[in-house]
Amino acid sequence: MDLLVSLRLVQTIIGATVALAALLAPHPGHADWMWLGGGETVFDGEYAQMTALFPFSGSLGSGFVHRYSVSYIGYTYPVGEDTVEAEGWSATAALGYQIPVTNGWLGFAAGAAYRNTEFTPPQPDNPQDGSQVVAQLDVDAGRIQDNRWLYATSISYTPRFRAYWGRARVLRRTGDGSFLGPEFVAHGDRDYDAQQLGLALQLNRVMGPLDLVLKAGAKRIRDGDSGAYAGIEFLRHFQ
């Protein structure tokens, strides 16, 4: 996927997320809330996601929250001598709970995701084909140690497909508003497993309260191909 397509993809998902949040969130202009997301291009596909996170009362970081996400994924994989192309969209609404952590964060969420996935050529035996509603579980945690090290991990699991996605980062402060270090990602389902290893550069408050992460590295599919990946993430806290 070239850069122009990647930018259009992210712009589309940004617009969808803002519209979804405006419809579902109670008075977001008067509440503490967070907007995060990004996109990633890989040798065998692309992915983008946008999420809006709101507390039920008070501020983020402690207590119950509600979260709304939209995402897009496109990828290819071999079936015999053919190459299958997959394209999917999803929208998720979830209830979460955040536990206060000194110099860090810890959150859990459970929700329902509406997914629509199309395969070319058609794959009627693939359990992810078509439209369906599935449960999704998420965990997000992190901590800053000695104002020097940033540890962060995120895990997502879809029981119906036994699909998982997990990422861990260990970043070291390189400046007043920057961290740099390795990241490891593992994801898969019943029939697929892959790992990614790369570097992540986190830049805090690059434009006002906007935080930005740039990442790049290598991806390897079990019993399959390997290649490069690159992506961008951002986070904005509103009050």
Mean pLDDT of 155-173: 97
Q: Which fold has domain 3-238?
A: Porin (2.40.160)
Residue 81 vs residue 136, higher pLDDT: 136
pTM of the predicted protein model: 0.85
> Would you state the pLDDT for residue 9?
53
Amino acid at 1: M
CA distance 50 to 122: 28
> Would you state the pLDDT for residue 22?
47
The 10s digit of each residue's pLDDT in 32-72 is 899 999 999 999 999 999 999 999 988 899 999 999 999 99
> Would you state the pLDDT for residue 62?
93
Q: Is there a contact between 197 and 217 (Cβ–Cβ < 8 Å)?
A: yes
> Would you state the pLDDT for residue 191?
82
Work out the pLDDT band at 79, boundaries 50, 70, 90. Answer: confident
Strand partners, 153: 141, 168
The answer, yes or no, to whether residue 15 has pLDDT greater than 90, is: no
CA distance 17 to 31: 17
Mean pLDDT of 152-159: 97
The 10s digit of each residue's pLDDT in 103-112 is 999 999 999 9
CA distance 194 to 59: 37
> Would you state the pLDDT for residue 82?
84
Amino acid at 103: N
Work out the pLDDT band at 27, boundaries 50, 70, 90. Answer: very low
The answer, yes or no, to whether residue 113 has pLDDT greater than 90, is: yes
Mean pLDDT of 206-232: 93
Q: What are the extents of the domains in the chain?
A: 3-238
Q: Is the previous residue joined to 127 through a cis bond, with omega within 30 degrees of 0?
A: no
Q: Is there a contact between 116 and 152 (Cβ–Cβ < 8 Å)?
A: no
> Would you state the pLDDT for residue 57?
85
- What proportion of the chain, given as a percentage, has pLDDT over 70? 87
Mean per-residue pLDDT over the chain, rounded: 88
Residue 185 vs residue 76, higher pLDDT: 185
12's tokens: 């589309």
Which residues are CB-contacts of 167 (< 8 A; sequence separation ≥ 6)?
153, 154, 155, 183, 184, 185, 186
Work out the pLDDT band at 92, boundaries 50, 70, 90. Answer: very high
Mean pLDDT of 22-34: 56
> Would you state the pLDDT for residue 80?
80
CA distance 96 to 25: 14
